Structure 1
Amino acid sequence: MTTLLPFIRHCSEDRYLSVVASNKDQFLATLVTAHGSALERYLARKLDNPEDAAEIAQEAFLRLHRMESPENLDNARAFLFQVATNLAVDQLRRRKLHLQFIRRERSHTADTAPVDINASGVSPEQILDARQKLAIIFAAVDDLPLNVRQAFLLHRRSGMSYSAIAQEMQVSVSSVEKYILQALQHCRKRLAAYFPPE
């Protein structure tokens, strides 16, 4: 260790990491240990959602892993944070588009013709109950992580198949299945909290 000490004092953190970690996997593991938590905190502040922050941090590390020689970067930490920032900006754009879509869908739902209670045979209490459940479901969907919400709405509102959603979102079909199942479980749980089974 004493032979490395003068070198360590005069080299950048990334250069030190590349010397300590002789191959790509060791370098990335060391980078995750050194900067993973800081990256997630940074992204959580930027995105205001810890789950999205964790996903984007993981994606940023995966992008580094896919590189030929990330250990040769001059400043791996800066590169990592820049990749994560770009991914976060993309996520924020998708979130904004998603919110616009939700607003349009809600206004479309609100603009539908009023129900003729006498003709439909539905009581005012049933209509109120249905509207309350719909509001709870909308709120539950809003609380979902962006990827889960997007997959759920593409399937339920747009009628897209799992494989079409996977292609649109650039994820695997099994991820789409997981997202939709997660969304359904979340909505059921939220409804059960307000309307316990009788």
Structure 2
Amino acid sequence: MSRVLQAYKEQEQAIRRVIAKYRSNIADIDDLAHEVFLTGFALELREEIRKPAHLLLRIAKNLSINETQRKINTTTVSIEDSGVLSVYTDERQHSPEDVVDGRRKLLVFSEALASLSPELRRAFVMKRVDGLKFDQIATRLNVSKSTVEKRVAKAMALCEEYIRSQGIEPAEFGIRSKRGRTGGRKRIARFGSKATQDKNEV
């Protein structure tokens, strides 16, 4: 499990208390608490976090201060200049429900990724986030190409299982962990799109 996720679970109440010093609205506290985890986890994907609990509490304070300042600045802008009227006239605007749903899905996916072992998470991120080929990942991790393929496939399967346990269909994220064969070639799902073959990777 991710050290940041573990620290977040252990320190969640402390994090919420920090946020509550600046925000009194329960919904704001919930949103910022989730953002604290997402911010910390994003950092962990790129570098080792030695003191995750300390980091999360610091992020909680900084985000709370920034959000408070943002709201203060927002109230000083005139309605005409802020474009508030366009919210009611532009049908392309996302509804509050869509925004909340999107945040929840992002949180669930991040938790799924954070629950993976470091080896699986590293291979998955290199492939799906950094867009590296299996050969490149194998070289960087000093393992075989086959090992990388297996790690990515297992990571996909575990993410799918976690996401489904939270009441969300993995298909909403474009996740399909099952592997089949077409013409004797393996097919591994790409994130956010249909499963496709990559002749340079398999």
Does TM, normalized by the shorter one, top 0.5?
Answer: no
Larger Rg: 1
Larger relative helix fraction: 1
**RCO higher in structure (CA 8 A, sep ≥6):** 2
Please, what TM-score do these two structures have when normalized by structure 1? Answer: 0.40
